[in-house]
Amino acid sequence: MVFRAKRTIALSAVAACAALLAAACGSSSSSSPSGTSGSPSSSVPKLSASSFNLSFSAMTALKPLAPKGKGTVAVILPDTVSSTRYVEFDAPYLKKSMTLAGLSSSQQVVQNALGSDATEYSDAQADITKGATVLIMDPLDSGVGAKIESYAKAHGVPVIDYDRLTLGGSRKYYVSFNNVQVGTLLGQGLVSCISQWHVAKPQVMVMRGAPTDNNATLFFQGYNAVLAPLFANKTYTDVANPAGTWDPPTALTEFQAAFTAHPNVNAVLMPNDENGAPIIHYLQTKGVKAMTFPVTGQDATLTGLQNVISGYQCGTVYKPIYLEAQAAVALAMYLRAGLTPPSALVNGSATDVTTSVKVPSILETPEWVTPQKVNATVIKDGFVPASQLCAAPYAADCAKYGISG
């Protein structure tokens, strides 16, 4: 089910939107816009990485770019298993962003590779054959990502890596969240939870995402930097480190094998909510009580948030996907129009460790969400409806933390 935020735009937001539109349409003719190849500055929107918000006002400021370009903007998302986000949020937010930016339904396409490298590659080929002039792609892995980007480059189509960076690829830009910071939040969240839940002599299992996913590597860098000193000084014991996966049933199998071998484990660094959900259920069948066995998570899924408010998960890393979707579409609109995106829009870089190339990037900021922060983040943003989060048997938990909406 696709959840969309419904809210009244405050006067300040209207003012901000007006200011943004004014900046887009009324800049001085004496100033030279970034990468406009001589185009009048008054016709080129001047967005920055901080322009995006829940009202999608920055997208309407991009409308002058729509008639300047040609062809379609094609999006290929990776799967429906590693996270429900791709169906529930990325796809609708990307479509909304392209529509508000002035692209017709025939000038945009959003697909899902359904976990198949072959499908992702064939979708990319078909999109380019049918006239795609910009490709936004979340690669299932760097192998297929690099193959797609090589094909796109040979056909003169720029690629934007979306959420995952393709190692060894040839993309033009990368849009994601700061994934090392995501890992840092996971590590800090576990440390805080172990303290607050009074876990004696922490025996920690560290689980990872798929080894082929560069994001999983970046997450690991973040939480390892937090946990490694605690393992080194014997504050915590590093008990087990399963191989890693984004497939929840496989994650459960990995956990069960390690937990059987090391029944003293009493805390788990878990890289996302989807992998954590079956493991938390397994622990519950073993009699584990709330607020006794810390488990972390990421993606702010409905199940993950319910585990958070009921005391079986420490917290979850929330990534406001509407920011990521708008950033990717903004880049696509500039590229489609043959323009270089404004320097203020591209706020960072990411290193392709295979080629040692620094990739110009837009990196959004993630947030650690505990029960006390649910109302002010995911509920406020319409990411998860309170009516679903607070359905039985979680009504009492919502009441406890003042969650409503």
CATH of the domain at 271: 3.40.50.2300
Residues 103 and 223 in one domain: no
Contact in structure between 296 and 313 (CB atoms under 8 Å) = yes
Give a yes or no: residue 260 inside a domain: yes
Instruction: Of 17-21, 61-65, 191-195, 337-341, give the lowest mean pLDDT range.
Output: 17-21
- Res 38 pLDDT > 50: no
Residues 75 and 190 in one domain: no
Give a yes or no: residue 6 inside a domain: no
pLDDT at 35: 35
Residues 54 and 104 in one domain: yes
Residues 360 and 373 in one domain: no
Residues 53 and 198 in one domain: no
Split at pLDDT 50, 70, 90, the class of 182 is very high
Residue 151 or residue 83, greater confidence:
151
Split at pLDDT 50, 70, 90, the class of 256 is very high
Residues 154 and 296 in one domain: no
Split at pLDDT 50, 70, 90, the class of 212 is confident
Number of domains the chain is built from: 2
Split at pLDDT 50, 70, 90, the class of 82 is confident
Residues 35 and 172 in one domain: yes
Split at pLDDT 50, 70, 90, the class of 15 is very low
107-127 pLDDT tens trace: 999 999 999 999 999 999 999
Strand order in the sheet with 173-177: 108-112, 72-77, 132-137, 159-162, 173-177, 357-364, 348-352
Q: In the predicted model, what is the mean pLDDT of residues 388-392?
A: 97
Q: Look up residue 366 and give its DSSP letter.
A: P
Split at pLDDT 50, 70, 90, the class of 402 is very high
Q: In the predicted model, what is the mean pLDDT of residues 271-279?
A: 97
| Domain, as residue range, for 112 | 11-177+322-365
Q: In the predicted model, what is the mean pLDDT of residues 158-166?
A: 97
Split at pLDDT 50, 70, 90, the class of 42 is low
Residues 268 and 314 in one domain: yes
pLDDT at 44: 87
Tokens at residue 92, please?
């609708």
Split at pLDDT 50, 70, 90, the class of 83 is confident
Give a yes or no: residue 405 inside a domain: no
Residues 48 and 128 in one domain: yes
Give a yes or no: residue 311 inside a domain: yes
pLDDT at 32: 30
Contact in structure between 190 and 227 (CB atoms under 8 Å) = yes
* Single-letter amino acid code for the residue at 44: V
- Res 105 pLDDT > 80: yes
Instruction: Of 41-45, 308-312, 357-361, 393-397, give the lowest mean pLDDT range.
Output: 41-45
Beta strands in 181-311 (DSSP E): 203-206, 237-240, 267-269
Residues 254 and 334 in one domain: no
Residues 239 and 388 in one domain: yes
- Res 2 pLDDT > 60: no
Q: Which residues contact 273 (CB under 8 A, 6 or more apart)?
A: 83, 297, 298, 299, 300, 301, 303, 304, 305, 307, 313, 316
Cβ atoms < 10 Å from Cβ of 260: 8
Residues 75 and 86 in one domain: yes
Give a yes or no: residue 76 inside a domain: yes
